[in-house]
Amino acid sequence: MGDDHQTPVRIIVKKKRGHAGHHGGAWKVAYADFVTAMMALFIVLWIVGQSAAVKQAVAAYFKDPGVFESGRGGGLLQGSSGAAPAPTVNVASEIEKLKVEAKKLEEAIAANPDFNKFKDMIQISVTKEGMRIELLENSTGLFFDVGSAKVKPETVQLLKLIAKEAGQLKNNIVIEGYTDARPYVNPNYTNWELSTDRANTARKILEENGVGKNQIVQVRGFADRNLKHPDKPLDYTNRRVSILVASTPQQAGEAVTPKAPSVAPKTEPVAPQNPSVVPETEKK
């Protein structure tokens, strides 16, 4: 054979595709970021549309996830494991309800002729802490016998009326007793005992006439430490019993009448000539 019949030489050039391969998976990362962002958005939108109880449970989880893992807390949704989230209280709605109740109570007191002697000495107010009913004393003992926790007959009727109304509300109740800054002459019975005993006497009457025993969560005696009139420490209206129908359970545990100066003005008791007789000015 001659040289004209030789097989031609073929040259094959292979191009490297390294550049395209380097960027081939970048779109996956971007897509994953997009999906994550959308999931976060949908979770936020879901939470926004949930009830206050669910929102509270979600917030509790992020504060302490171990609560749900250990079974100490409830599930996020009804039907999930664990106890249901504690119901929340609409404070604004509760305060409006207490305002209506305060008006009813004022009208009921005004309609009873037996309570005419209490005019201007029963103060009913509604604040964010709840409905506070204050029974203010005078120099002769309006609601309680002077220097004693013994109630007057009209006071019993008044407390029965309050018990009937407060018992229907089912709100928590705190009862507080106060005195003025005048020292009690009996060394074995002080303003502390008197203020506490009067509050406790009111508790018994309320519980016997419509208030549930679980409603009253605290009975407190403040003696002369929280004067109604700090600028007039000997004023008789500093002697009072206060009944707080709380707007929320938290308020029942925290509500305290604004504090007066920590040190009450110093007054010296007048020693009676006859130890068995206590002067009216020294009685509570």
User: Tens of pLDDT along 80-112?
Assistant: 444 445 556 688 889 999 999 999 999 999 999
What global pTM score does this model have?
Answer: 0.61
SS3 category, 42: helix
At the topology level, CATH places domain 91-282 in 60s Ribosomal Protein L30; Chain: A; (3.30.1330)
Look at strands 240-246 and 130-136 and give their pairing: antiparallel
Q: What angle do CA 43, 48, 50 make, to 5 degrees?
A: 95
Determine the Cα–Cα distance for residues 14 and 211; give it in Å rounded to an integer.
95
Tens-place pLDDT, residues 249-269: 766 655 545 444 444 444 444
Residue 211 has pLDDT above 60, yes or no: yes
As given in the structure block, the two tokens for residue 79 are: 């039907």
Reported as a pLDDT band with limits 50, 70 and 90, residue 11 is low
For the chain, give the mean pLDDT: 79
Contacts of 284 (CB under 8 A, 6+ apart): 137, 146, 147, 179, 180, 182, 184, 191, 194, 239
Higher pLDDT, 1 or 278: 1
What mean pLDDT do residues 153-158 have?
96
What local confidence, expressed as pLDDT, does residue 270 receive? Answer: 33
Query: Residue 200 has what pLDDT?
Result: 98
**Beta carbons within 8 Å of 186's beta carbon, 6+ residues apart:** 278
